[in-house]
Structure 1
Amino acid sequence: MSAPDERPALAPPIALYDHVQRLLRESSDAVPPPRGYPLPRKPGPRTDPFSWEAAEHAVQKALDPLPEDPDTLRRRFEELGVQHHHRHLVRTAVAALELPAEQLAAVRSLGRGLARRGTTVPTVAAGIALLRRLGEPEDVPCLSALGLFRDLAGPAVHALDALDRRAAALVHLVARGRRDELRPLIRALWKDDRQAVHTELVALPAALRFVGGSAARRIAEASRLSELLDHRPSDAVLLARTGELLVRMGSSHDDPGELLGHRDALRLYDTVITRARLLPPTLDNAALLLSLALDLSSGAGALLDWPPGRRAVLLDLLGQLLAMPPWAEASAGGETADQRQRAGWIRRTGRRPFQHPAPAAAFRVEVVAGDPADRNPVEARVLIDGRPVVPALFGRGPAHSPDHLLDDGRLRAGAEAREVQLAEASCSEGCCGALHVTIRRDGDHVVWENWRRTPSGCWGPTAEPPAHRFDAAVYDAEVTRAETDSSWSWRARTVARLIKAGLVGDPGLLDRWDAKRGWISSGFDDPDTAVVTFWYAPGLASGRPEGAGEPLQFRWDVPDDGTPAEAQAAAVLHRLASKDPKSHARVCGGSRARAEELGFPLE
Structure 2
Amino acid sequence: MNAPEERAALTPASTPTASPTSVPSAPALSLYAYALRLHRAEPGGRLPEGGYALPAPPGRRSRRTRAPWKAACAALTEALAPLMAVPGTAWTGADTDRAAHRIHLRLADLSVREGHVQFVVAELPLEDEGWARALGRCLTRTGTGVMAVCVGLALLTRLGEPEDVPYLRTLGQLKDLAGHAVRALDAIDRPTAALVWLGHYASGPELRALVDALAAVDDLSVGDDPSARSRLDAVLRKAGAVRPETARRVAEAVRLADLLREHDARDAGLVAGAGRLLRRMSSVNDDRAEILACPVAVGLFEAFVVRAAELPPTLDHYATLLSVALELHSGPSRLLEWERGRREALLDGLESVLSRSACRALPDGEPAEDSGSGSGADSDSDSDSGFGSGFGSGAGSGSDGQGRVEWARSTALRLFGRDAERAASAGRLRIEATVLDPVDPYVVETRILIDGLPLVPAAFGRGPAHSPEYLLDSGRLRATGEPREVQLAEAYCTEGCCGALHVTIRRDGDHVVWSDWRRPAPPLSPLPARELPEYRFEAAAYDAEIARAENDHSWTWPARRAARLIAAGVRDRPDLLTRWDAEPYWIGTDFRNRDIVAVSLRCRARPAAGENGRDGKNGENGGDGEVGEEVPWQYVMWHIPADGTAPEDLAAAALRRLATSDPRTYGGGGGSR
- TM (norm. structure 1) is 0.90
Tell me the residue number matched to 2:80: 63
Tell me the residue number matched to 1:285: 317
1:50/1:254 Cα in 2 relative to 1: closer, same or farther (>3 Å)? closer
Q: 2:493 aligns with which of 408, 421, 427?
A: 427
Q: 1:487 aligns with which of 554, 561, 566?
A: 554
Checking the alignment, whether the CA contact within 8 Å between 1:390 and 1:423 is kept in structure 2 is yes
In the alignment, structure 1 residue 272 sits paired with structure 2 residue 297? no
The answer for unaligned runs of 5 or more in structure 2 is 1-11, 17-26, 85-97, 370-395, 607-613
2:669 counterpart SS class: strand
In the alignment, structure 1 residue 352 sits paired with structure 2 residue 414? yes
In the alignment, structure 1 residue 51 sits paired with structure 2 residue 115? no
Checking the alignment, whether the CA contact within 8 Å between 1:516 and 1:541 is kept in structure 2 is no
Letter in 2 for 1:176: Y
Tell me the residue number matched to 1:227: 258
Tell me the residue number matched to 2:268: 236
The more displaced of 362-371 and 455-464 is: 455-464
1:570/1:16 Cα in 2 relative to 1: closer, same or farther (>3 Å)? same
2:513 counterpart SS class: strand
Q: Distance in 2 between matches of 1:30 and 1:360?
A: 57
What's the CA shift for 1:318? 2.2
Q: Distance in 2 between matches of 1:140 and 1:274?
A: 33
1:541/1:516 Cα in 2 relative to 1: closer, same or farther (>3 Å)? farther
Tell me the residue number matched to 2:190: 165
2:543 counterpart SS class: helix
2:571 counterpart SS class: helix
In the alignment, structure 1 residue 23 sits paired with structure 2 residue 89? no
Tell me the residue number matched to 2:116: 89
Tell me the residue number matched to 1:478: 545
Tell me the residue number matched to 1:370: 436
Q: Distance in 2 between matches of 1:255 and 1:555?
A: 26
Q: Distance in 2 between matches of 1:267 and 1:339?
A: 31
The more displaced of 42-51 and 268-277 is: 42-51
1:321/1:540 Cα in 2 relative to 1: closer, same or farther (>3 Å)? farther
What's the CA shift for 1:287? 1.2
The more displaced of 344-353 and 377-386 is: 344-353
What's the CA shift for 1:24? 2.5
What's the CA shift for 1:292? 0.6
1:76/1:443 Cα in 2 relative to 1: closer, same or farther (>3 Å)? same
Letter in 2 for 1:451: W
What's the CA shift for 1:408? 0.8
The more displaced of 12-21 and 384-393 is: 12-21
Letter in 2 for 1:222: A
The more displaced of 133-142 and 146-155 is: 133-142
2:277 counterpart SS class: helix
Q: 1:131 aligns with which of 143, 156, 176?
A: 156
In the alignment, structure 1 residue 361 sits paired with structure 2 residue 376? no
1:61/1:580 Cα in 2 relative to 1: closer, same or farther (>3 Å)? same
In the alignment, structure 1 residue 549 sits paired with structure 2 residue 631? yes
Tell me the residue number matched to 1:514: 581
Q: Distance in 2 between matches of 1:49 and 1:578?
A: 58
What's the CA shift for 1:219? 1.6
1:246 counterpart SS class: helix
What's the CA shift for 1:363? 0.7
1:578/1:259 Cα in 2 relative to 1: closer, same or farther (>3 Å)? same
1:380 counterpart SS class: strand
Q: Distance in 1 between matches of 2:303 and 2:529?
A: 33
What's the CA shift for 1:172? 1.3
Matches within 5 A, 1:289-304: 289-304=321-336
Letter in 2 for 1:339: D
What's the CA shift for 1:201? 2.0
Q: Distance in 2 between matches of 1:120 and 1:147?
A: 15
Checking the alignment, whether the CA contact within 8 Å between 2:283 and 2:290 is kept in structure 1 is no
Checking the alignment, whether the CA contact within 8 Å between 1:451 and 1:464 is kept in structure 2 is no
2:338 counterpart SS class: coil
Checking the alignment, whether the CA contact within 8 Å between 1:429 and 1:454 is kept in structure 2 is no
1:541/1:329 Cα in 2 relative to 1: closer, same or farther (>3 Å)? farther
Checking the alignment, whether the CA contact within 8 Å between 2:62 and 2:147 is kept in structure 1 is no
Tell me the residue number matched to 1:387: 453
Checking the alignment, whether the CA contact within 8 Å between 2:335 and 2:454 is kept in structure 1 is yes
Q: Distance in 1 between matches of 2:39 and 2:356?
A: 54
1:119 counterpart SS class: coil
In the alignment, structure 1 residue 217 sits paired with structure 2 residue 248? yes
Checking the alignment, whether the CA contact within 8 Å between 2:597 and 2:640 is kept in structure 1 is yes
What's the CA shift for 1:36? 2.4
Tell me the residue number matched to 1:188: 213
The more displaced of 350-359 and 303-312 is: 350-359
Checking the alignment, whether the CA contact within 8 Å between 1:365 and 1:383 is kept in structure 2 is yes
1:107 counterpart SS class: helix
Q: Distance in 1 between matches of 2:307 and 2:470?
A: 39
Tell me the residue number matched to 1:3: none
Q: Distance in 2 between matches of 1:294 and 1:556?
A: 32
Identity value in percent: 45
Q: Distance in 1 between matches of 2:126 and 2:62?
A: 32
What's the CA shift for 1:330? 3.0
In the alignment, structure 1 residue 201 sits paired with structure 2 residue 226? no
Letter in 2 for 1:166: P
Give the CA RMSD over aligned residues: 2.6
Checking the alignment, whether the CA contact within 8 Å between 2:433 and 2:555 is kept in structure 1 is yes
What's the CA shift for 1:542? 11
- TM (norm. structure 2) is 0.81
What's the CA shift for 1:62? 2.6
The more displaced of 261-270 and 239-248 is: 261-270
Q: Distance in 2 between matches of 1:19 and 1:452?
A: 47
Deviations 1:492-528 (A, max 9, x none): 1111110111111111122222222221111112211
What's the CA shift for 1:455? 4.2
Q: 1:571 aligns with which of 617, 639, 653?
A: 653
The more displaced of 549-558 and 281-290 is: 549-558
How many corresponding residue pairs? 580
Letter in 1 for 2:50: R
1:549 counterpart SS class: coil
Checking the alignment, whether the CA contact within 8 Å between 2:437 and 2:443 is kept in structure 1 is no
Matches within 5 A, 1:383-462: 383-455=449-521, 462=529
Q: Distance in 1 between matches of 2:45 and 2:616?
A: 67
What's the CA shift for 1:29? 0.8
Q: Distance in 1 between matches of 2:192 and 2:62?
A: 33
Letter in 2 for 1:583: T
Tell me the residue number matched to 2:610: none
Letter in 2 for 1:503: V
Checking the alignment, whether the CA contact within 8 Å between 1:512 and 1:541 is kept in structure 2 is no
1:189/1:361 Cα in 2 relative to 1: closer, same or farther (>3 Å)? farther
